């Protein structure tokens, strides 16, 4: 089994789910004394703040620099930092970006014997690395957004498909992704390994008795959201659904950041709705966990997710959950969680694109979302599910330690 890892990510290694995945894998491997390097994006001084855990092992690809004078290309059209879309990427810019990544990976590998290269996102950087470094074991990690980019930017499809064919394995988050990878990338389904996601138990854990007692005594209820402030994440719909509740005893806390017009729209809508809204901006993971343990209900209204890691983090913090019925997510959760009644999934509206709902159907989705929120809010005083030891043990089993052990089984040839 290899004890050398090179983690590769075309985004900043903070702020997004894939970055949290990378950081969690790094920490788990560090506990097992792996030799590691991280190759990921940085811009405008973000490198130092993004890599507290692995600062000595970070080889940044620096955007907004002399070599790459433009912002990072985001895996989503709206990122929590300055970015550009892949639709705007020129051939010259693509060549510069890929050359920079391959150069950093080569430098990382030069200090190792036989590293395993873990490439996040089935997209351009992963495709290029798989072609270049055939002497090493290169594994791709699907977060779903690569498949979305394939649909949004088909001009890159042949290049990505050809490169992905060189991967030794692909890790997928759920069976829905496994099927799409086989269909859209012509990849052997037997080589797509289901790994799921995990949460960090150091930041996300069940509330103490004192914290639960504060919940019980507090007037009103708090609904929490964690993620990017964007239309594709359903934040506009969440605000309108909370407005439909017509309750002045409900507070909505939006944890995360956004950019540009969509953030401006969300801020304006937050001022107009009938409930109280707090927008915290980006928070450290420990603070996110503390905020979740203080809340009563978590809502994930997203129209698309590879897999919603934050949903597991909310469950770990003892919250009831209302989530859009994102393909593959519900089937990942153990039966005892769904049977507890603490989790409710809301039917999505018909979609015009992979993450773009039919505007004419949004009102119906928002009514369904509001109904589920209202139903769960009526039960926030019932915390019996948290007293079920089997429920607690199952939730604890979804941590990163178990996920990394599943990954590690495939590091060897």
Q: What is the pLDDT of residues 9-23, one digit of tens each?
A: 999 998 788 888 899
State residue 409's pLDDT score. Answer: 92
pTM comes to 0.72
Residue 42 pLDDT: 93
What pLDDT does residue 177 have?
87
Pairing of strands 356-357, 351-353: antiparallel
- Give ∠ CA 204-302-288 in degrees, rounded to 5: 25
**The pLDDT of residue 216:** 84
How would residue 328 be classed by pLDDT, with cut points 50, 70 and 90? low
pLDDT for 67 equals 92
Region 311-338: what's the mean pLDDT?
Answer: 87
CA distance 72 to 46: 12
Measured CA to CA, the distance from residue 140 to residue 174 in angstroms comes to 14
What values do phi and psi take at 262, rounded to 5?
-65, -40
CA–CA dist 132, 109 (Å, integer): 12
Query: How does pLDDT run across 92-138, given as a tens digit for each residue?
Result: 999 999 999 999 999 999 999 999 999 999 999 999 999 999 999 99
Query: Three-class SS of residue 142?
Result: coil
Specify the pLDDT at position 47. Answer: 66
Closest by CA to 261, choosing from 83, 78, 86, 81, is 78
Kindly state the tokens that stand for 333: 């959760």
* pLDDT band at residue 370 using 50, 70 and 90 as cut-offs: very high
Q: Higher confidence at residue 345 or residue 144?
A: 345
Q: What is the pLDDT of residue 2?
A: 60
Q: Which residues contact 260 (CB under 8 A, 6 or more apart)?
A: 78
Q: What is the pLDDT of residues 168-208, one digit of tens each?
A: 999 998 888 899 999 999 999 999 998 877 888 999 999 99
Cβ pair 126, 75 in contact under 8 A: no
Enumerate the H helices of 51-201 as residue ranges. Answer: 91-110, 124-132, 145-152, 157-164, 175-185
- Report percent pLDDT > 90 for the chain: 70
Q: Which domains does the chain have, with CATH numbers?
A: 4-198+399-408 (3.40.50.2000), 209-396 (3.40.50.2000)
- Kindly state the percentage of the chain with pLDDT values over 70: 98
pLDDT of residue 306: 63
Average of per-residue pLDDT across 337-345: 91
Q: Is the model's pLDDT at 78 over the cut of 90?
A: no
Cβ partners under 8 Å of residue 225, min gap 6: 235, 238, 252, 253, 254, 255, 256, 298, 299, 300, 301
């Amino acid at each position: 089994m290899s004890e050398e890892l090179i983690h590769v990510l075309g985004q900043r290694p903070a702020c997004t789910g894939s970055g949290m995945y990378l950081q969690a894998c790094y920490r788990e491997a560090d506990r097992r004394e792996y030799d590691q390097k991280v190759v990921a994006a940085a811009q405008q001084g973000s490198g130092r703040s993004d890599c507290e855990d692995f600062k000595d092992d970070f080889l940044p690809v620096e955007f907004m620099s002399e070599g790459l004078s433009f912002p990072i290309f985001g895996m989503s059209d709206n990122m929590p930092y300055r970015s550009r879309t892949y639709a705007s990427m020129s051939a010259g810019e693509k060549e510069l970006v890929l050359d920079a990544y391959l150069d950093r990976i080569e430098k990382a590998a030069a200090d190792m014997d036989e590293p395993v290269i873990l490439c996040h996102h089935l997209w351009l950087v992963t495709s290029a690395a798989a072609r270049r470094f055939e002497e090493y074991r290169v594994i791709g990690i699907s977060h779903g957004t690569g498949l979305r980019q394939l649909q949004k930017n088909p001009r890159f499809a042949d290049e990505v498909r050809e490169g992905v064919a060189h991967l030794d394995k692909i890790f997928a988050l759920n069976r829905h992704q496994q099927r799409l990878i086989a269909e859209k990338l012509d990849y052997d389904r037997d080589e797509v390994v289901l790994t799921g996601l995990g949460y960090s138990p150091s930041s996300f854990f069940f509330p103490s008795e004192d914290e639960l007692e504060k919940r019980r005594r507090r007037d009103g209820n708090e609904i929490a959201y964690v993620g990017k402030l964007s239309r594709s994440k359903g934040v506009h719909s969440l605000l309108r659904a909370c407005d439909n509740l017509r309750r002045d005893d409900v507070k909505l806390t939006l944890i995360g950041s956004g950019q540009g017009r969509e953030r401006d729209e969300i801020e304006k809508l937050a001022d107009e709705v009938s409930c109280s809204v707090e927008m915290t901006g980006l928070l450290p993971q420990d603070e996110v966990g503390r905020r979740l343990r203080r809340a009563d209900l978590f809502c994930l209204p997203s129209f698309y997710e590879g897999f919603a890691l934050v949903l597991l983090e909310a469950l770990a913090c003892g919250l009831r959950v209302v989530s859009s019925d994102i393909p593959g997510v519900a089937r990942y959760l153990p039966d005892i969680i769904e049977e507890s009644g603490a989790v409710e999934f809301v039917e999505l509206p018909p979609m015009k694109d992979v993450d773009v709902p039919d505007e004419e159907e949004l009102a119906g989705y928002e009514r369904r979302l509001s109904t589920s929120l209202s139903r769960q809010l009526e039960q926030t005083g019932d915390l019996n599910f948290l007293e079920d030891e089997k429920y607690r043990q199952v939730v604890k089993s979804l941590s990163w330690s178990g996920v990394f052990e599943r990954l590690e089984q495939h590091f060897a040839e």
